[in-house]
Amino acid sequence: MLTDVATAPTVLPLAPSYRLPGAVVLAALPLLWLNLWLSLGVAAFGLFLVYQAATLRLFFTATDLDIYRGDRLLRRFPYSMWLNWRIYWSPLPVLFYFRETESIHFLPILFDSRGLRAALEQFCPAR
């Protein structure tokens, strides 16, 4: 059950998920029989996603979505600038979309999708 933002924790971190990166790496294996270079490209992209999932952290605060690599803040997205958000494809979430007043963002789901949806509904309800 979701709590009111006033009683919610000040910072809510999201746990990483290696489901999407692992699926991309595994998808490269059957491609070996079709085309070596295509398989290597897909595998390299999958390994890049594994690295991103291992090093990036999303933190939901009362006012912002913060993206960190280690202890370094990479980007801050204030909820006040958000117009809407969506998680694509509901049965198997692979892409997180959100639109700010100035730009559009697409992020692969490298985090727990249920936790992401719950945090979004708690901190930045759909408008």
All domains of the chain, ordered by start, with CATH? 5-123 (2.30.29)
Secondary structure element (H or E) that encloses residue 90, with its range: none
β-bridge mates for residue 105, sequence order: 98
CA dihedral 71, 75, 79, 84 (to 10 degrees): -130
Confidence grade of residue 48 (pLDDT, cut at 50, 70, 90): very high
Residue with tokens 């949806």: 117
Q: Are 69 and 56 in contact (CB under 8 A)?
A: yes
Tokens at residue 79, please? 């909820």
In the chain, the percentage of residues whose pLDDT exceeds 70 is 92
pLDDT band at 9 (very low <50, low <70, confident <90, very high): low
pLDDT in tens, 80-101: 999 999 999 877 888 999 999 9
Report pLDDT digits (tens) over 58-68.
999 999 999 99
Predicted pLDDT of residue 125: 85
